[in-house]
Amino acid sequence: MRVSSLDLNTSQGPTTAYVDRPEQDTNTAVILIQEWWGINQHIRDIASRYAHEGYNCIAPDLYRGRVAQDAEEASAMMHGLAIEDGMETIRRGVDAARDSFGFDQFVITGYCMGGTFALRAACEISELKAAAPFYGDIPEENVLKNLKVPTLFIAGKRDAWINQEKVNGLKASAAKYNLPVETVSYDADHAFFNDTRPESTTLKRRKMRGDAYSNFSGSILLHNKKKLATGDVSVTVTEPRAVASGTSKLLSLKWFPSGPSGLQARVFIPLATARGSEY
C-alpha cells in the first residue's frame, strides 16, 4: 500500500487528508469520513482495508489534526464542528484527490459523525457516485430530497441515537421523494462497526485465532462496468467469509437509476461485525 497525505486549504484554516492507495493505480476513490474521535488509528486501518481491496481511500481531517482522547472530548469536538466547515473540508478533499492523483470516480462512506456528513455530502456534492453512511444523523428534508446517487444507509436496531424513529423517517422521505436509498438495520448498538471498542473483544479473539471471516465492512466499492441495458446501477450487499467455513452470502437490493454512468456499487458487510445478527 502507498500511504501519503494531501494538504487542504479551507476558509477555516489548513488541514490534511490521509491517503492510502493500492499498489496498482486506479481512478476510483473512497472518501472516508471519520468518527467523532478524529483521524485515529482505527480510521487509518479502515483506509488500508480499502487499499488492500484495490481502491484508493481519502480521509479528509475534519478536526485539523486533533484526536479526541475520551468520549467527553469527542462530543465537544463534534458539536464544535460546523456543518459548513465539515462539508467544505470534504469538498476540498475531493478536489485535491482529483487534482493530485487524477481520480475521477468518487464514492463516500462514514461512521457515526462521519455517517452524518457522508449522507449530507451525497445530497450536495455532485462528484459523488454512491454512498454508504453508517448510523449517521439524517439531514433536513430540504437537503435530503436532493439525493440522486445510490445510497445504502446502515443502522443498528439498538442504537439510541440513530434510533428506529429516525431510520423510519429516512424511509418515509425516500418514499415521498422517490430517493435511491435503501436501509439495512442490524440487531446491534451504535458504532457496531468499530472493532477497537471493548465490546468487540470477542471479535478480536476470533481474529487472533485466524477464523475465516472478514471484518471488512461498509465499503462502497465502485466498479467500472459495461453499461447495463436498463442504464441502472446495481446495489448489492454481500457478506464475504462471514462464517468459519468460508462460505459467503449474497443479497441483491434494488436497482437504482444512474443515468449514463453504467457503474456498479457494492457494499460489503459481514455478519461477524454485527454480532451474528440477520437482516
Domains in the chain, start-ordered, CATH in brackets?
2-209 (3.40.50.1820)
Residue 193's pLDDT band, with cuts at 50, 70 and 90, is: confident
Determine the pLDDT at residue 1: 66
Angle at 249 between CA 243 and CA 255, to 5 degrees: 150
Mean pLDDT of 116-141: 96
Given CA atoms 176, 111, 15, 70 in this order, what sign does their dihedral have? positive
246 φ/ψ sector (left φ>0, alpha ψ -120 to 50, else beta): left
Cβ neighbors of 65 (< 8 A, separation 6 or more) are: 15, 16
CA distance 134 to 193: 8
Mean pLDDT of 86-111: 97
Determine the pLDDT at residue 252: 28
Q: Is the pLDDT of residue 241 over 50?
A: no
User: DSSP class of residue 205?
Assistant: H
CA distance 246 to 213: 7
Determine the pLDDT at residue 199: 67
Q: For the chain, how far is it from start to end, CA to CA, in angstroms?
A: 34
Cβ neighbors of 15 (< 8 A, separation 6 or more) are: 8, 60, 61, 62, 63, 64, 65, 89
Short-list 233, 235, 216, CA closest to 225: 233
Q: Is the pLDDT of residue 177 over 90?
A: yes
Q: Is the pLDDT of residue 180 over 80?
A: yes
Of all residues in the chain, the percent with pLDDT exceeding 90 is: 65
Q: Look up the pTM and report it.
A: 0.76
